[in-house]
Structure formats: C-alpha cells, structure tokens
Amino acid sequence: MNYTTQMDAAKKGIITDEMKAVAKKENIEVEILRKGVAEGKIVIPANKNHKALSPEGIGEGLKTKINVNLGISRDCPNVDVELEKVKVAIDMKAEAIMDLSSFGKTEEFRRKLIDMSPTIIGTVPVYDAVGFYDKELKDITSKEFLDVARKHAEDGVDFLTVHAGINKRTIEVFKKNERVMNIVSRGGSLLYAWMELNNKENPFYEYYDELLDICEEYDVTLSLGDSLRPGCIEDGTDAPQIEELIVLGELTKRAWERNVQVMIEGPGHIAINEIEANVLLEKKLCHNAPFYVLGPIVTDIAPGYDHITSAIGGAIAASVGADFLCYVTPAEHLRLPTLDDMKEGIIAAKIAAHAGDIGKGIPGAKDWDYDMSKARRKLDWEKMFELAIDKEKAIKYREESTPELHDSCTMCGKMCSVRNMNRVMEGKDVSILKE
C-alpha cells in the first residue's frame, strides 16, 4: 500500500520503517506509536530526502527531546566553525538540530548538515530568504517566500518552522494590546514588517495550502512558529499570544486533513506559575499536537545564565506535558554561542528533559537515577562517572581535589555519611579523628 507521509501511513494502518525504529528506541509497542501518529499526538519528522536520518518521535508518551540551534550569520559566517558544533551536538546525542543560518553560504551549510546528520534537521525559511535572493525584505514576493520553503524541503529538511499564525487578525489584537517587548520572534518580526511595508497578508497564511503541498510531497513536518510569543515575563500569556495560538489550532486541523505532521512552538519567557497553564492551553487549542518550547525562560534578570533559567522552565514544562525543548545557552540575548556555550546549553536542556520525563512518568525514566543511586551507595566512583550526564566534568572535579580516603571526597572526608553508614551497617568501627 502506498502512502505520502508518516501520518498518511499511520491513518492507513501501515507500520513504516521509521515507526519501527522509533518504537524500538522508546521501548513501546509500535501499534501504540502508529495510533499516536495517526491522531497527530506524535510526529516523526523524516524528510524522504534525509538519507542519514536516525528517526525520532516527538509527542505524547515519548521521552522529551531536545533541539540545538546552530547556523551562520553576517557577523559569524564561518561554515567550518558551525560544522564543528554540529559534530559535537551529534556526539552529545541531541535529537534535533535547527539551522538558523541567515547570511552567507547558507545552502552549502544546510546540505553538509543534512548529509552528515543522523539527527532531525529543522530550518526557518524566512531567515534565509533575504540572503538567498539578495533583496531587501519588502521586495521579496509571496511566491519567493514559498520557493525558499520548497528549496529547504528538497534539500532534505525534516521540519520547517513557519510563522503562519501571524495574520491580519492577530496583528489587530497585537496592536490593541500594548506589550513591553513587542515582537521578539525573529521570523515573526520579519513577517510583521513585510506585511506592514506591503500592506499584504502573511504569505505563509494566505498560501497555506501551497505550503502544505510542499510538506506533503517531501513529508516535512510543520513546526508552527509562535510569532507572538512573549519576550519577557510581563508579556506572558497575554491576548496576542493566545489569539495566535487559536489560529495555530485552526492551521493544525488543516494540515492534518492533508496528512501533514504538525508541532506547535511555544513560549518564550513565562513566569514559573504560568507554565502549566500554557501547556494546557496549547494541548486544548491545538488538539494535542506536540508542544515545542523555547525554555521557557522563567526570569528576565540572568543574562549569562539563561541556560539555567530555561532549564528550570523546561523541566516544569516537560513534566506537565511539553514534548520538545529548544536548548538555551549562556550566551542567549548576548551573542552567537561558542562551542563551550553550546555544550552547556545541551547539558542543561538534557537535564531538564530527563527531570520532566521523571515527573510525567515516562516508563523507565527513573532507571538511570536508580543506577546512579546504587553506585553512590557503594561509593563506586568509576560507575558514577560512567553514568554521569557529563562524564568529563565529573572526572575533572574529582581529580582537582584529591581526598585522603578513596571512599570519600574532600567535602566530608571521614564524616562522609555514605561511608560511615556503610561501615556501621557492616558492623565496622567509625573513626573520625584517629588514623
């Protein structure tokens, strides 16, 4: 039986190779996975032209995945530097990489990225349009925006972030509701400017059916971008954000009618007490489509530490149902991340994802923690290093401060509670002062 997309196959009862691969990784029955894909609750971003892909599933009942943002810009156009980051991100087992390139040899970088990456690859076509055509934003035509999306799909991109929800209707709501930070989405601000300069409807909204043609042909998953996401906690969960979310829910249903897979992108900067409500709203208004969040960042005061502010929000969001976390690095709001920034961002996001999986009861999520706890009780340092999410850092810290006794560390020494409890439980003496 023939099928066009993973969703089309799932609706027809077909188990694809990609479904089999994901079910094995997730340790779930493939029929459960197929049903989730058919209902739109799970996506398997897998472009037909991405030959190096090792498929991953994103959505209900699956482990929370993380995304790493990379790409060249006008100020940092070095392709080789970004490709080195790609290699490290793959080694660190990030499930997805987004190419946010906006200047220079974007096509060269994108093709090399797709050729070498087993990870899911995403892009934002509107970023690439200005450089691709070498034209000012206002002079790009609606057709040209769609043509860039087609080009990315042909190259093998697995998901496209498209800001189709910012239309004339949502702009009116935005204009009537003053914000502290206006529009902070790069794609959203570019399309808002284009619409205002040309007095036209958003081309990705007006010609959404043509966009769906492209996605159906190559089995590209649509990641519906949140143009009006809050850029500070003061703007969180406001009328423009929710109005756009309503539109994204409408666009989700239209995509599903064409068997195009959909994710919904979410905030952004959100106060910690509003995170659960935001996840609930997305799931309700967008019909349980997978939710992809940037952070969310829970306070605006920590430039240089936003990998921490986002990990706090990401862990909470994942624990209450978010499916996909976009990493944030210490360089957020400050500059393009370095390789070391990227590593810190990945570790923070992976910690958040894992903590979220424990919270929402993903089967087997706690096994890793249980094994670490057993190693700690035994004071088995080698096993602890083997299980650590960042083995190199754990070993480095241990070696920087050598304890007197191998079965302790320099924090507690002979007062180590684990060491002394082991000795007491074994009927041995506990000596603190004597040799």
Q: How far apart are CA 68 and CA 339, in angstroms?
A: 12
Annotated binding site for substrate: 69, 98, 127, 163, 185-187, 226-229, 265, 292
Give the count of alpha carbons within 13 A of 124, CB side only: 27
Tokens 């040799």, residue located: 435
Q: How far apart are CA 39 and CA 124, in angstroms?
A: 26
Share of the chain above pLDDT 90, in %: 88
Q: Among 64-78, 105-119, 360-374, 403-417, which stretch is predicted with the lowest mean pLDDT?
A: 403-417
Neighbouring CB atoms inside 10 A of 363's CB total 12
Query: With 90 as the cut, is the pLDDT of residue 70 above it?
Result: yes
List, for residues 52-64, the tens digit of each pLDDT value: 999 999 999 999 9
Q: How far apart are CA 231 and CA 233, in angstroms?
A: 7
List, for residues 141-150, the tens digit of each pLDDT value: 999 999 999 9
Pair of tokens at residue 131: 């450089």
Q: What Rg, from alpha-carbon coordinates, does the chain have?
A: 23
DSSP state of 139: G
Return the pLDDT at 48. Answer: 98
CA angle 121, 126, 132 (to 5 degrees): 90
The residue among 435 and 74 whose pLDDT is bigger is 74
Q: How far apart are CA 421 and CA 428, in angstroms?
A: 10
Pair of tokens at residue 24: 């094995």
Query: With 80 as the cut, is the pLDDT of residue 167 above it?
Result: yes
Domains in the chain and their CATH numbers? 6-359 (3.20.20.540), 366-399 (no CATH), 401-435 (no CATH)
Amino acid at 258: R
Q: How far apart are CA 319 and CA 353, in angstroms?
A: 8
Query: Which is nearest to 187 in space by CA: 228, 157, 150, 232?
Result: 228
List, for residues 204-221, the tens digit of each pLDDT value: 999 999 999 999 999 999
Q: What is the arithmetic mean of pLDDT over 391-415? A: 89
Neighbouring CB atoms inside 10 A of 104's CB total 17
Give me the residues paired with residue 99 across strands. 70, 123
Share of the chain above pLDDT 70, in %: 100
Amino acid at 58: I
Provide the pLDDT confidence category of residue 432 given band limits of 50, 70 and 90.
confident
Return the pLDDT at 341. Answer: 97
Q: What is the arithmetic mean of pLDDT over 354-375? A: 97
Query: With 90 as the cut, is the pLDDT of residue 130 above it?
Result: no
Instruction: Give residues with Cβ within 8 angstroms of 290, minimum separation 6.
Output: 41, 42, 43, 58, 59, 60, 262, 263, 264, 323, 324
Annotated binding site for Zn(2+): 269, 333
Neighbour-count burial of 55, counting CB atoms closer than 10 A to its CB (0-12 exposed, 13-18 middle, 19+ buried)? buried
Provide the pLDDT confidence category of residue 435 given band limits of 50, 70 and 90.
low
Give the count of alpha carbons within 13 A of 181, CB side only: 19
Instruction: Give residues with Cβ within 8 angstroms of 60, minimum separation 6.
Output: 36, 41, 42, 288, 290, 321, 323
Q: How far apart are CA 337 and CA 345, in angstroms?
A: 9
List, for residues 242-287, the tens digit of each pLDDT value: 999 999 999 999 999 999 999 999 999 999 999 999 999 999 999 9
List, for residues 82-120, the tens digit of each pLDDT value: 999 999 999 999 999 999 988 888 899 999 999 999 999
Helix (H) or strand (E) holding 172: helix 168-176
Query: Which is nearest to 223 in space by CA: 163, 151, 143?
Result: 163
Annotated binding site for [4Fe-4S] cluster: 409, 412, 416
Pair of tokens at residue 83: 């490709």
Q: 128, 152 in Cβ contact below 8 A?
A: yes
DSSP state of 279: H
Return the pLDDT at 72. Answer: 86
Q: How far apart are CA 327 and CA 306, in angstroms?
A: 10
| DSSP helix/strand/coil, 221 | strand
Query: With 90 as the cut, is the pLDDT of residue 402 above it?
Result: no
Return the pLDDT at 392. Answer: 94
Mean pLDDT across the chain: 95
Return the pLDDT at 413. Answer: 86
Provide the pLDDT confidence category of residue 124 given band limits of 50, 70 and 90.
very high
Give me the residues paired with residue 68 across strands. 97
Annotated binding site: 69, 98, 127, 163, 185-187, 226-229, 265, 269, 292, 333, 409, 412, 416
Tell me how far apart the 2 most distant CA atoms of the chain are, in Å.
Answer: 83
Return the pLDDT at 104. Answer: 80
Q: What is the arithmetic mean of pLDDT over 388-408? A: 90
